Structures are given as structure tokens and as C-alpha cells.
Structure 1
Amino acid sequence: MPLQPSVGLAATSTFALGILATLLTTGCGKRGTAVAAGNRDQVIHIGNLTEPTDLDPHVISSQQDAQITMALFEGLAQYDPKDSTPVPAVAERWEHSTDGLTWTFYLRRNAKWSNADPVTAHDFVFAYRRMLTPSLAAEYASMLYVLKNAQPLNGGKLADVTQLGARAADDHTLVLTTEYPLPYLPSMVCHAAWYPLHRPTLEKYAGLTQRGSAWTRPGNHVGNGYFVLTEWKPHQFIRVTKNPHYWDRDAVKLAAAVFYPIESEDAEERTFRAGQLHTTSTLPISKIAVYRQEKSPFFEPHVFLATFFLRFNVEKPPLNDARVRRALSLAIDRERFVRDVLRGGQMPAGHLTPPDTAGFNARTKLAHDLPTAQKLLAEAGFPGGKGFPKLEFLYNSTEANRLIAEALQQMWNKGLGIDITMQNQEARVQTVSMRSGDYQIGRFAWIGDYLDPSTFLELMTGDSGNNLTRWRHADYDRIYAEANRTADNAKRYELYQRCEEIIAAESPIAPIYFYTRNNLRRPEVKGWYGNLLDNHPLKGVYLDPAAAVK
């Protein structure tokens, strides 16, 4: 899942003040801060970085979108809040055939939509067919390619949707047939791409194949999660409240949650200190050392499966030459980035997949190697950088992104003798630019969707909706497909090693660092844990006023 970058600080200062005014005048007023009122009323206030692209789980495009939709929908399984392993949700249990190709999920008979309609296996089948509709162009459609005939359906090569490996044996039994044995399927179905949808609602608001239709708006939205959508004031906040029809409603302790798209790291931190947020999405680099040194009770960093990397658009010369891409990658001093620029506990990334992802550790390690970088650039026809065309690096200027951009510019100029200009765009515009191919070099970050290396390596396949480098490599796709069909984990991981080797040799991306989550959370927030996927289901979260810092 992409980690959504935030917009420039200057563009959001007035905006952040508007949010702060909203916090001070809604839900607390003269009674005190939003946090104090929330502690009393079990209403959690969450900094969520950006305005969601949508609340349609089939077209969301960032982790921040997913945190909201996770409260509004529930899949067959859900992420355990402590370790991100799958636990039963709409499906109370599941089993698979001896050959591992057929999975049967048994749905709860008391599962209901927020309008009190029953949730059935047919709702899942409908959702999967809709996700694979070519005209919807869902970025995550490829996640369902594990189902039999999903890829030809999504590619328009097969029209008969009944051939999809998903059928309702009855209202409460869903049968999935996969293209190959998939032991981690229960982890995959936790993801938003696998949520059910309420067909009558989508039909009513013309949302079957249309993005941005009115079905996701308050008053229209029908979900099956533990919360319902009650307010959405664009660029101010989204409020969700407890769903009275949720099958396990007694386990839901919060009365409501409010998500704020505070896109400036500095403004979000100030809003937290003002007592208006229970948790932030991030923390300014300049403040990390301060909170660490003071041993703040609000600061609890944790490692999670996410990689920051550069995308190279291989259709833009000279980036169509692997020697140039590899030269740019090898000229990056990753150790310096972590030590001198980021200073937040991150790890240098010499490969795409984070270390120890379900026991997988890539042997390939890109390192700072300036002599080889200079040699490759010369071989590509640009000795000492002579004749190298001006390229543009597209980024979003959070404090971290600005510092990274400046460090890259300096490294490439000093080490290779080339000039790279910097271009800042608002987050949504940057996403559009990269999806349309209107960029040369772009910053990007990816967080794992489930606990397996395939959640990272699938990114670089030719058919992945999230591979925006325009790079396609027949051997990579073949090896990745072979790995997926290999039941033996040791052999599968060896094939994944070859995928990492191809990425390093071809360099359609340049991994820079592995993330550490640096954010703030108040001690009164209970049931919220740091975990490898950085997912935080709110079902078991509650607020304990007695734990608040006095």
C-alpha cells in the first residue's frame, strides 16, 4: 500500500490553522480540548496526514485511505492489531483442499450491513467481479490475480464473469479457487481489495464502474464495519460512529473516531501538543531527537514493513538505459541518508523487500559505489556528466522529502557531475503525474499489505497497477510467476532472490531506506499497537482517561 506523501508546508499553514479552529469549536467547545472531551466520551481524534482520495475500497490509493475504510468495512479476515496476522472477521472459519487450490470460507449468519441487510457470500462475489472490471481500472486489481481467471477478466480477454474463481455455494459459504496453492491467502483477504460491497447502494448511485460516485458520501454510504460514516467535511475531518448493526458491536468500545487530514508535519505536531489529537501520523525530523532525548511518554517508534525508493520512468531518455539508472542508484550514499539526514532510526535499503519479511532476507545489497557509478555513466555516453540532459525529480516537500531531495541533488552533482532539478507538487497532483507517466524521477514509498515478500516483489511485475516505472522484464515476470506456483517456501524464496537480483541489475527503482514509524500517541489510547504492517484496527481501541499525562 502506498504511503501517501504530504503537501508542502507553505501550502498548508493556513489550512492547518483552519483544522485547529475546527477542533477547538467542534466536539469540545468551552469544555476543554478535543482530547479531554474525547477521553470522556470515547471519541478518538486521529491525525491522518492527507485528504482521502475516496472511501471506495476498490479505488483507494494510500495507507491513510485504508485506515478509514478499515473502520467502515470488514473482510473475510481482519489484521490482528498486535502482529498483523489474520483473525476471523466476517468469516468465522475457513479451510482449504489438500491441493491448496480451493478455499472455503464460512460466513457468520449474524453479519449485517449498516442498513441491517444481511451480509452474504454473494456480496463478496459481486465485489470481486467489480474489482476486476477493466473500465474501473482499479490499481489493486492485480491483487486478485491469485483467483482463477482473474487476470484475463481484468485484461478484457475473458468476458464471462462466472468463470472467476469465486462463487457462493450458499448465502453463508464462499468458495475461492486459486491459480496456484496460496498458503497466505487468509492474510491477503484482510486487505481492502477483498472487502464485500453492498450492490443495491452502488447501483442506486451509479457506482458500479464509476469512480467518485455519491455512494461513498454520508447518508448514502453502506458498509459492514464496526463504524458508519456520519460526516465528511473535505479537507477538515471525517467522523465515523459506532455501527449498531455490527455483528460484534459489544466489542467496540469507542463511540466515534475523527480523522483529520493535517498535511503539514509541523502543524500536526503543534496540534497534538495543543491537546487536539490523540495520535499523529508522523513527526517532523527536527523534533525526533527532542522527543527521544526527553523520553517522552508520547513517543513510541516502531519498525514496520515499508521501503522508501525512487522511481525511474524508463520511457524518458536517458532513463531508458539501465546503466544510467544504476549509476544514479549507486551514487546514493544510503548510510549518510539515515545517519545525517533522516536521523529517525531508519535502515539503509540495498534492496526492495524489507529485512526478515516472513523470514525472507534479500542477499542482493546495493551500496554506495561511486567509481562504478561513474564508469557506468561514462559507458552510457556521459563521461564526467558531460552532455547529460537535465532531469527533474518529483517530490512532495514535507521536511523529510525536502531534505532528501536536497541531499540527492548534492550527491548526484558532486559524484556524477550532473544537475537534477527539483519539482514539488501537491500530493494528489503528484499521484496523477506519476500514473500518467508525466515525470522522470519520483519519490515513492510502499508499505506491505500482508506478511509475505510477494507484497513487495509483485510491485515490479509488468501487470501490476502500482508499477508506474513503465519497466517490464519478461524474465522477472516469469520468475515471479514461478515462485508463486512453488509450494516449498525455501525454493520460493530462492526465486524471489533472483527477482531482487534483476531489480538491482536493471534498477527501475532505487531503494533508499526502510522505515521506522516515528509518531506521537497519548498513553490513554489503549488497544493500539505498533505492528509490522502499521495497521490499526479501531475495533479493540478505547480511551482510558486515568492514563492521561497530568
Structure 2
Amino acid sequence: MLKGINKSVIVFTGAALLLGSVLAGCGKKDETGTGATGDAGGLVAADQKFRMLIASEPPTLDPGLAQDNNSSTVLRPIYDGLTRKDENGEVKPAAAEKWDISPDGLKYTFHLRKDAKWSNGDPVKASDFEFAWKRALDPGMTPPAPYAYQLYYIKNAEEYNTKKITDASQVGVKAKDDFTLEVELKSPTPYFLSLVSFYTYFPLNEKHVKTNPKFAAEASTMVTNGAFVLKDWKHNDSLTLVKNDKYYAANEIKLNEVNMKILNDPGTMLNMYNTNQLDWAGRPTTEFPVDQLPKLKQDKAMNLQIKGIASTYYYEFNTKAEPFDNAKIRKAFAMTINRQAIVDKITQGDQKPAFGLVPPGIKGEKKTFREEVKDDYFKEDVAEAKKLLEEGLKEKGLAKLPSVTLIYNKSEAHKKIAEAVVDMWRQNLGVDVKIEVQEFGVYIKNRQNGNFQIARAGWGADYNDPMTYIDLLMTGGGNNNSKYSNPEYDKLIKEAYGTSDESKRMKAMAQAEKMMINDMPIAPIYYYSGIWAQKDYVKNVFVDYKGDIDFTRGYIEKKK
């Protein structure tokens, strides 16, 4: 999920762009006489505060339950997985200082840092990883972990999660001692080192979680192991992160404080940025006013950045709810959306029309997946769509379409897109669709529980491989809100899971994507671009290839 130039740039690549150069010894030393601590490389501690926004209250800060961008934006700096990603999207050691991989690619042995500490001073142990992963897989976890399937690469993980076996000790993750974690995979997984940087794979302080079941509810009850700790959480208002002095690489962390104001008002955000109340505005969580983007692109003082990111915007149909339990009706709705008009006239941020699920920038066999597999699975065709709608209604024994509602979470862009799409459906299909805006937490729960007919959705990469999109709609998947189920699709995914032959993997995933789009449980609309503005004194903060912000090694260059 993804800029240091004054004009808009679009780059669809799998690597992130380093924002600004690292200036050793920049700024002046503290001349105030206050004795502020944290001076590193000539940076003044009192200046090392970074101010940004997130769009909504994080629904959860439990790594085992998180599944949204607001939660992940907070979780990533306060937890450390076995690995992390640098500005180029490359895997770097994190809680694990090194690892060994067996010749057959099935066994990974991670050697943890002995100097890694939890924020309460406890050592970070291999057992904390084993505990966290098995907790997410536990079929008795309430609510269930939506990303449990991301652990299915591990031997017997799926079997345990689906109750085919009841003994958690058979799951292929074991703490051999305090600092050695052994992981046995079901089949070779070329991107596994990338995968373990994802938040479902974060560790949990076993002792603390077992004694504090609501450990993730308040700042005061959280024990974490990342570069920052959550100091204050004013629900529905703001979060404050401060540098974790117990972090093994504390000397690399220059920022002393990160302030995240919770706000989803593009106009207010723009005013705050222009009046120097924010250092960063926009991606990853808050949008710019879409009608002002053309003007903002020309304003050099904004330092607006635009970059293609590996993320897809789409509408999902509830395949278990009438009338979208019929594939022909779903196709009719998908084929009458004018995608080019949406990106040209509404979003205006260099987005690209989408006719598949996997976006540009995701690795393929030799190039990117989207370069190797064209997303020409369907076309916008009003005449064909009308025919399909008529056939679908006849198959269901309906004289006319029943009442239909499209839900979306609060956002100026989501609203304008919904209004435009509903108008397209009215003009092209002669159907009236209601639109309903919902508070983010309610919207998430309604999608999870199947309380919708059509819902706005988006998906960003969890790791740099097509599978992060392709397995999204597997039968029973925790994020398969459309409740799509096709045994042949599932079979192709398992075929891709089970081989280390890149050619066979890519072919199986391409076939699965084509099959799924033909069934149309989702209607792809566009491939995202990341849009943000940053003050020119913000250094080493970047948006990676998939749209996530990383400020952990960032700093503020002292303003003159």
C-alpha cells in the first residue's frame, strides 16, 4: 500500500519510493537549555513530533482481529513481526535477526533477537509468536480471526482452524526455546518471509494477554514490541504514539511522538494542513476533496504526491441475498458502470479503470502479474447487460427487480462514486438503487455479517504476490464478505498453494481470477493511486507499494 516531488507522478511498481534523502547531522542541536533527550544525528528532540490523520476510530487494535486500514496504520508502528519491509518493499530482519530455510522450502527456523523487549520490559520470546498464531487459528476464538486463513500456509493450520483436528500442538509452529521459532509449512511458499511481516503474524505477550483479555481496548492495557508505544487513546478523537525506549533499535528511531487525529472531513484536513497543524495529509486513510484535486495538483506549495499503489476499489455483491444470488444480475450491474468516467470526472487522482481484482504493481513470474495477465475478463456493454438482467429475473421468477440498497462508509469520494453509479444503473438498466452511508464500525460489521446487498469495498496487498487478492474469495474465507463459493475456484487456489513452480502458480491464479470475475461476486471499478501531501521538512517517511505509511525511521528536519 506506497512520493518527494512537486508534480504529480504515477508509477506502478512493486517497490516504494524513498521520500527525501537521509541527511546525517541535519538541523541544529538544542540551544534552549532544556536538556531535551533523544538528540540523534543532530536532531532536536523537541522538534521530533509528527502530525497526521486517520479517517475513523480503529475498530480494534488486536492484531488477531484487525482487518482494516485504520487499525493497521496504528498497529504497524507499535508491533514488530519477525520481519519488516524497507522503503523498497524488501524484507528486513525485525524481531528475528536471522533465519534458516530448509532445502525443500518447507521449514523455516527463525532466530529471535535476545535484546528484543516488550514495552513492559519482558523479553520477546518465540512462544509469544506461537501463542499469537495459534490464538488466531483457534476455532473457539470469539469473534473469530478474519485473517485466520492467512496462516493456512502452516502445516495443519487450516485443519485446526476448521476443527478437522483438535490438538493445537499438531500445528506446524513451535518455540524450540525462548529465542528459536520453528515453522513447518504445508507447501513451499516463496513469499513467506514477506507474509510474516503482516499484522496477523505479530506476536502477543502471552502472559499479559491471558491475564488481560481486553488488552487491546485502551492505551493503558496494551503491551507491544514495536518502535512506538500507544501512550494515549482518546476514543473517536485521537491517538498519541511515543518512542519505545525499550525497542531493540531505539537508536534508529528519531521521532519522539506521533499524533493521529481522527477526522474524516477533507475540507477540514486541507485547512489544517495549510495552517501548519498537520505535517502529512491524505494517504493512507484520509482523502483530499476530490473536486479540488485538479487545482491542488498545480499548487507547488502543497507538495502533493500521486502514485499508483497495489490496491483495488470495487463493489461487492452479497451472493446469498436476493437478487444478487443470480450471477446474470450481478454481471448486468457490473457491466453498466462507466469506469473511465468515474476516474476522469470524480476521483481525478490518476486512478486506472479496473476489470480484474489484482492491481498493477504486484509481482508476477517475470514481470508484474497485470503485465502478464491482462484484465480483459469482461467489457462494459449496456445492451448485453439489459439482456442478462432480463434473463436473470426470469430465472428467479421475478417480474421486476426487488428493492436494492448500496451501502458505503462515510467519505466524500465514496458518496460521489455511489451517486454516479446509481445514476448509471438508472439510465442503463432502468433500476432504482438506494444508497446508505454508515459509520465505519457499523459498515464493517454489516459486511462481515452479510447484512447488505451491495457494499463499497477495497482491497490492498498484504504481501507482494497475486495470492493476496486471489484467495480473498475462497469459500469460507474470513474476508469473503460476498459469501462467494465455487469449488473449482477453490481447487485452483489450492493448486497454486501446493506448488513452488512459479509458472504453474501464476497460471492457476490467472485461471482463478478469470473464473471469479466471470461469476462476478464483485464489480471491480478502479485501481487506486495513493494521494498525499507532506511538508518538505518531513524526511524518511514513505508510502510503500501497497499504500501503507511507514514513519518508524522518519524524522523532522528542523525548520529554519
TM-score by length of 1: 0.89
1:92 is paired with a residue whose SS is: strand
The aligned amino acid for 2:47 is D
Secondary structure of 2:350's match?
coil
Q: CA deviation at 1:469?
A: 0.5
Structure 2 residue 388 is the aligned partner of structure 1 residue 376: yes
| Structure having the larger proportion of residues in helix | 1
Residues 361-440 of structure 1 mapped to structure 2, 5 A cutoff:
361=370, 362-365=373-376, 366-381=378-393, 387-440=400-453
Could you say which residue in structure 2 is the equivalent of 1:526?
539
Does structure 1 retain, via aligned residues, the 8 Å contact 2:108–2:182? yes
Residue 144 of structure 1: aligned partner = 151
1:116-160 CA-partner distances (Å, limit 9, x unpaired): 111111111111111111232011111001111111211223221
CA shift, 1:192, in A, is: 0.5
| Residue 51 (structure 1) aligned with residue 57 (structure 2) | yes
CA distance in 2, matches of 1:507, 1:386: 23
Please list, as runs of the form range in 1=range in 2, the aligned pairs for 1:448-459 lying within 5 A after superposition.
448-459=461-472
What does residue range 83-482 of structure 1 map to in structure 2 within 5 Å? 83-136=88-141, 137-205=144-212, 207=213, 213-281=214-282, 282-358=287-363, 359-361=368-370, 362-365=373-376, 366-381=378-393, 387-482=400-495
The residue matched to 2:258 in structure 1 has which SS? strand
C-alpha deviation, 1:364, in angstroms: 3.7
Q: Provide Cα deviations, 1:186-208, integer angstroms capped at 9, x if missing partner.
A: 10000000011101111221x2x
**Which piece of structure 1 moves more, 522-531 or 176-185?**
522-531
CA 1:172/1:477 → structure 2, altered by over 3 Å: closer, same or farther?
same
TM-score of the pair, normalised by structure 2:
0.87
**Cα pair 2:386 2:429 within 8 Å, conserved:** yes
RMSD: 1.7
Percent identical across equivalent pairs? 31
Deviation at 1:305, TM superposition (A): 0.7
- For 1:34, the equivalent position in structure 2 comes to none
Provide, for residues 272-326 of structure 1, a one-character-per-residue CA deviation record: whole Å limited to 9, x for no partner.
2221111123211022111112234421111111100111001112211101101
Take 2:531 and 2:375, find their aligned partners in 1: how far apart are those partners?
A: 27
In structure 1, distance between residues paired with 2:499 and 2:105: 12
Equivalent position to 2:75, from 62, 69, 72 = 69
Distance 1:412 1:382 in 2: 19
| Contact 1:142–1:463 (8 Å) recurs in 2 | no
* Alignment correspondent of 1:7: none
User: Deviation digits for residues 209-244 of structure 1, max 9, x if unmatched?
Assistant: xxxx14542232111111112111111111111111
- 1:508 equivalent to 2:521? Answer yes
Question: Per-residue CA shift, 1:358-377, capped at 9, x if unaligned?
Answer: 02123342321112111211
Deviation at 1:344? 1.0
1:543 matched to 2:556? The reply is yes
Counterpart Cα distance in 2 of 1:542 and 1:522: 12
Shift of 1:526: 0.6
Unaligned runs of 5+ in 2: 2-43
Residue identity in the other structure for 2:374:
R
Deviation at 1:355? 2.1
- How many residue pairs are counted as aligned between the two chains? 503
Shift of residue 528, structure 1, vs aligned partner = 1.2
Deviation at 1:537, TM superposition (A): 2.8
1: CA distance, partners of 2:521 / 2:101: 37
8 A contact 1:48–1:280 mirrored in 2: no
The answer to whether the Cα contact below 8 Å between 1:53 and 1:60 also exists between their aligned partners in 2 is: yes
The code of the aligned residue for 1:290 comes to K
Segments of 5+ residues of structure 1 without an aligned counterpart are: 2-37, 208-212
Contact 1:73 1:224 survives alignment (8 Å): yes
